[in-house]
Every structure is written in structure tokens, then in C-alpha cells.
A = this chain, B = another copy of it.
């Protein structure tokens, strides 16, 4: 990808600048983090003048928003894959999604950080925010439906409402991912085993809490 992005164009027109900007933005994000993310640097990496992006995105926030939307779609598909690979039991599915959620955050830390810094994707173009919201909603929906399934089968702990339970489950893995990425727990990026172990711990806790 990067080699393509950095390749010199031969023609005046880029051909697929919109996608190139998204790719370059992602590279930049991975390299410099959220705070190093500027429109001008993205343009530089895409090999284009700093004004060119304005033909594809109304403003900086819209570019960020597009990356966020793309990221939520990625997360959603990771969760979907985890869920469908986990068999029939809803708790197994919930657990698999929880692990997949944390792994997604560890695999794409900058993407993840960007996804939950909503102020960065605020744009004058309101459509962008909607795209991201929709993708986020889809991802959450996958979790929600597994919880609902458990409720329908009557295996949810008494007095647990499905919506609240889904939020609680999401919150738990989201919190763990955030704490790990922020370095609040003493876990470095290379200690995947410890992270995974903790994720399993959290997921077990949640599932034990939900199970009848």
C-alpha cells in the first residue's frame, strides 16, 4: 500500500485520490498517532498538493470521519466473524466477540483511538458523522443480537434486561482496551499474551455475570 501511495504519478490527475487519502491517513495515524494527524501531512503522503484534498472532502473533519466509518466497518466485520465462528451458544458468541473486540483494538491502536475521539471527526458536512454512527451501530447490533438471543432462550440471569446487558458487556471490553492502550495497566504493546489473558478474564467475568 505505502509504495503505491508514495509512487510518483505520471499523469496530472491522480485517478483515485480519495482512496489514496484514506490510505495515507491511516499510515500517518499508525506512524504519528492521532495528534500528528494533519490534512497537510496526509496530502504530502499522497503525493499531492495540500489543497487537493478539498476536492474530495469538504474539510479535515470529513476525512477523519471517513476513516472512522471505515474503521467501524472493519470492527463490525471482525465481530461478525468472531460471532459466527463461535457456534450456537449465545454466551460463546458474546465471549468470542469480546475477545475479538480487544484484539481489534490491539491490532489497530491508532484507528481505535481515532474512533473514540468523536470531536476529531466533527465536520461541517453532517453526512460524514452519520456514516460513522451507522457503522458503529451495526457493530453494536451484532453484539446486541447475541444478547437478545440469550434472553429469548431464557438463559439470561433473572432481572437482566438485554439492552443494558449488551451495553455493560461492550463497556467492559471497551474499558479494558482503553486502559491497555493508554498504558494505565502496565502492559506494553508486545505483551500480547498478558493482554489476551486479561481479555479472557474480563469476558469470563461478564459472561458469568450474565448467565442465569
- Which residues of A approach B to under 8 Å, CB–CB? 33, 35, 116-119, 136, 157, 160-161, 164-165, 167-176, 178-179, 182-185, 197-198, 201-202, 204-210
Contacts and interface: CB of A to CB of B under 8 A. Distances in A.
Contact of A179 (B117, B160, B174): B174
B174 A178 contact: yes
User: How many copies are assembled?
Assistant: 2
Given A208-B209, A209-B204, A209-B205, A179 B184 contact: no
A185 B197 CA distance: 27
A170 B179 contact: yes
A79 to B, nearest CB: 15
Contacts of A179: 167, 170-171, 174
A167 B198 contact: yes
Given A116-B182, A167-B201, A167-B202, 8 more contacts: A164-B198, A168-B172, A168-B205, A171-B173, A171-B178, A206-B209, A207-B209, A208-B209
Contacts of A118: 182-184
Contact of A136 (B116, B184, B197, B206): B184
Contacts of A165: 201, 205
A2 to B, nearest CB: 24
B176 A116 contact: no
Given A118-B182, A119-B33, A206-B209, A168 B176 contact: yes
Given A35-B119, A201-B165, A204-B209, A175 B184 contact: no
Contact of A205 (B173, B183, B185, B210): B210
B185 A167 contact: yes
A119 to B, nearest CB: 6
Contacts of A184: 116, 118, 136
Contacts of A136: 184
Contacts of A210: 205
A-B pairs, top 5 by smallest CB distance, nearest first, are A175-B175, A209-B209, A171-B175, A205-B209, A174-B175
